[in-house]
Amino acid sequence: MNKDKLKIFDRDMMKCLALFIMFWGHLIGWVTLYKHGDIKAYYSLPMWEYVLIYTSLFCPPVMFFFVADGYKYTRDRKKYAKRLFIFACITQPFDWLLLHKLFGWWSSNVIFTLFFGLLAIMAWESRYKLWQRIVLVILCCGATVLIQSDWIVFGVLFILFLHIFRDKPKHRFIAYMSLTVLYFLPNLFSLGEVPTDRLLIQIAVMMLMFVLAYLCMTVFYNGRKGKYPTFAKWFFYGFYPLHYLIIWIVAINS
């Protein structure tokens, strides 16, 4: 089979697919968290809702891929970084509005992690000495810990490794799957504290979503822009804070 025939998704189609899946998972999960303030409330949900919550994890790796991809193709990397930072700040009040009951006020949204992931790539590609570049990457990871942004440390490493190994598919896959396993398998330490069947299903679905996202980005993504790249760019930036607001409205009225 001609591999090019499999590349059916352009950039905008890929992002739309990721956001669509994310939205429904977040809608069920975050409304539940808003009402109960405890993630253990997930375990009393019908199984289809429980599974749908974790399918939302298809979206983060797609975001990581596109930040790594964006570094290579954007015309102005500093403007790209500035844009990520601005929209992370715009999104933060909506994050607090919906999720502060569970995570508190000292937490921040995933766009900050994307921002620091981009900075990590910029640091790695700089002309500094190797040890200096490593220190800068560590500082980027540390910043996500300091502000408690979503996907702390791991988000930065996913983005950086996807960039470093972009021309080495085998190494990229190994790095990606290694981080995936390291991130999700520690959930097994919760065995005995939560329902075993639900925990195993949760881990299986999360890892499956990461594998599917990788497959889509490496096999089905054709690397092309969509038909309306300017509109799409601002739509995708605006959708993230907007979806917090929509879910919050649903939560307070449910």
Better-scored residue on pLDDT, 39 or 140 = 140
Q: Is the pLDDT of residue 2 over 70?
A: no
For residue 55, CA distances in Å to 60, 64, 128 come to 11, 16, 40
Give the span between the Cα atoms of 241 and 156, in whole angstroms.
21
**Residue 127's pLDDT is what?**
93
Name the domain count of the chain: 1
Distance CA 180, CA 182 (A): 6
pLDDT confidence tier of residue 162, bands split at 50, 70 and 90: very high
Tell me the average pLDDT across 47-56.
Answer: 96
Which amino acid is located at 201 in the chain? I
Parent domain of 111: 3-252
| pLDDT at residue number 3 | 65
pLDDT at 41 over 80: yes
Give residue 246's pLDDT. Answer: 96
pLDDT at 1: 53
pTM score, two decimals? 0.94
